[in-house]
Amino acid sequence: MAERTVFQSISHKHVTSLGPQASVRDAACVMTRAGCGSVLIMEPPDTLLGILTERDLMTRVLARGLDPEHTTAREVMTPNPICVPPETPVSDAVVLMLERGFRHLPLVAGTKILGVFSVRDALPREIGTALSQAEFNEQVNDVLG
């Protein structure tokens, strides 16, 4: 059986987004209502500026004691996030996230944002495949120096 793609695997087929001047509190409320762990920060009509995640809220807002009402999404977002096309295999996406240390990956076809793949969208089977690939990559890197 062929491996699923990231687009086939995403649980939310709609794009959750806000403008860069939205408050961090607004972003947290949008994520809570949508039941997702990230929100894309976009400039109308369709320019992706960054992504704001639950982890960003914790490490860049709460841990620094910033006021969520007066801190904008632009101030604490991850700018220019790495994106992948919708046909990317799940295991490749998980390897990328493991190697780069993030949990959310925007899906882009041309200039159109299709959604966000989260590590939660990966099944244990595919996580196992990705971990094996990541371990292999690490071994190759060790050999190559």
Task: Please tell me the least confidently modeled range out of 59-63, 123-127, 134-138.
Answer: 123-127
What number of other Cβ atoms are within 10 A of residue 139's Cβ?
Answer: 10
Contact status, residue 105 vs residue 115, Cβ threshold 8 Å = no
pLDDT in tens, 84-105: 999 999 989 999 999 999 999 9
For 105, list phi and psi in degrees, rounded to 5: -140, 110
Please state whether the predicted TM-score (pTM) of the whole model is above 0.85. Answer: no
Whether 81 shows a pLDDT value over 70: the answer reads yes
pLDDT in tens, 15-31: 899 999 999 999 999 99
Whether 33 shows a pLDDT value over 80: the answer reads yes
Distances from the Cα of 88 to the Cαs of 10, 19, 94, 115, in angstroms?
12, 27, 10, 13
Q: What is the pLDDT of residue 21?
A: 97
Return the structure tokens found at 19: 């403008």
Dihedral sign computed on CA atoms, order 7, 85, 119, 82? negative
